[in-house]
Amino acid sequence: MDLPFQEFFRFVKPYRRFVVSCHIHPDGDAIGSTLTIGAALAQMNKQVVMVCNEEVPNVYKFLEGSSQIKRELPSDFIPEVLLCVDCAEKERIALPANVWEIPGLQVLNIDHHITNTNFGDYNLVWPNAAATGEVIFSLLSVGQIPLNHNMATALYIAIATDTGFFRYTNTSGYTLEVASQLVKEHQLELAKIAEQVHEQKSFNSIRLLGEVLNTIQIGIGGKVAWAVLDQQMLAKYSVENEETESYVNYPRSIEGVEVGILFKELRPGEVKLSWRSTTAVDVSKLAANFGGGGHARAAGCNLNGPLKTVIAEVLSYIDDYYQQQCNTE
The residues that touch Mn ion, with contacts defined as CB under 5 A, are: 29, 86, 131-132, 162
Of 29 and 258, the one with the shorter C-beta distance to Mn ion is 29
Query: What gap in Å lies between CA 4 and CA 24, rounded to an integer?
Result: 26
CB of 130 to Mn ion, least distance (A): 8
Q: How many CB atoms lie within 10 A of CB 45?
A: 7
CB of 169 to Mn ion, least distance (A): 14
CB of 103 to Mn ion, least distance (A): 30
Of 82 and 131, the one with the shorter C-beta distance to Mn ion is 131
Helices 190-198 and 149-162: crossing angle in degrees, nearest 10, is 60
CB of 85 to Mn ion, least distance (A): 9
Q: How many CB atoms lie within 10 A of CB 136?
A: 30
CB 303 within 8 A of CB 273: yes
Of 106 and 132, the one with the shorter C-beta distance to Mn ion is 132
Query: What gap in Å lies between CA 234 and CA 208, rounded to an integer?
Result: 8
Grouping H, G, I as helix, E, B as strand and the rest as coil, residue 271 is strand
Of 132 and 196, the one with the shorter C-beta distance to Mn ion is 132
Residues 6+ apart with CB under 8 A from 290: 273, 301, 302, 303, 314, 317
Of 298 and 303, the one with the shorter C-beta distance to Mn ion is 298
CB of 297 to Mn ion, least distance (A): 13
